[in-house]
Amino acid sequence: MAYGIWKFLLQTVAVSAAAIAIVGCSNSSSPSNTSGVTTETFSGTVASAGVDTSHTFVVTKSGTLNVKVTLTQATWPGPLTGTSLVISIGQPFNSGCLTIQSVVTRPGNAPQLSGSANPGAYCLGVADVEDRGAVTYTVTVAHT
CATH number at residue 93: 2.60.120.380
Largest CA distance in the chain: 43
Q: How many domains does the chain have?
A: 1
The reported pTM is 0.73
Q: Are 136 and 45 in contact (CB under 8 A)?
A: yes
Helix (H) or strand (E) holding 20: helix 17-22
Q: Are 56 and 124 in contact (CB under 8 A)?
A: yes
CA atoms within 13 A on the CB side of 143: 23
Specify which residues 138 forms β-bridges with: 43, 70
Range(s) of the domain holding residue 36: 2-143
Please list the pLDDT of the chain residue by residue as tens digits (144 residues). 444 444 444 344 333 222 322 233 344 556 777 788 999 999 888 888 899 888 999 999 999 999 998 766 655 555 555 678 899 999 998 878 899 999 998 877 888 899 999 999 999 999 988 887 788 888 999 998
